Amino acid sequence: MVVDELDALKNTQDACKTIAFADLSTRMILVTDTASNLPREALDALCGQAALALGTKGKVALGEQPCQTALVANKSSVRVFLRAPDEPNDVLCCVCTPNVDVDSFVTSASECLNRISNGNS
């Protein structure tokens, strides 16, 4: 189950507050971790930010080509967006606290996304 993967990732990463699995082709959040209490509008905005940062349908807002991993940091949060290597529309959207260990988190989240996208969950 996708939600189990999201919950497992969140349980190992204290700095992670929300994880959502989204489909960029429809710009929809499909699943969130169990404890997520973000309202629908906030989830839509999160997905919109993922589309803007990663790029969709071969188009990019910043850079020359769609990217695989994006990080958007401000004073209050760090948002990490990851695209599945084999399914470009499968993305993980994560909201973390500013003190997140980015390297460790990106590694774990990438593994989680690969399992989800490859249908191993």
Partner 1 sequence: MHALAETLTALAAKDDIFQDGARVISQGGVPNPMAAFLKAVDETMLERKLTFVTGKATINVIAAGRRLRGIAAASPAAGDISHLAGKTIAREEPDLIDDAYALLSETIGNASRLAVHSLPPDPFGKGGERGVSAAGLAALWKIDMHEAPLAPMERFLRTNSDGINALLHLTAGNVNTTQGDVSALQDVWDNQVTAFIEAQNKLPDQDDGPQLICLDGALEDGSAAAIAIAGDDVALLVYAPDHLGTLHSTWQSIFA
Which amino acid type is present at position 93?
C
What are the C-alpha distances in Å from 36 to residues 17, 40, 102, 115? 7, 11, 20, 21
60 Cβ neighbours under 8 A, 6+ residues apart: 66, 67
Whichever of 4 and 85 has its CB closer to partner 1, that residue is: 85
Shortest separation between residue 83's beta carbon and partner 1, angstroms: 9
Nearest to 71, CA basis, from 35, 43, 44, 109: 109
Among the listed ranges 5-13, 24-32, 40-48, 113-121, the one in contact with partner 1 (CB under 8 A) is: 40-48
**Residue 49, interface with partner 1 (CB under 8 A)?**
yes
Pick out residues in 86-105 that bind partner 1 (CB under 8 A): 98-99, 101-103
Residues of this chain that interact with partner 1 (CB under 8 A) are 41-42, 45, 48-49, 52-54, 60-65, 67-76, 78, 98-99, 101-103, 106
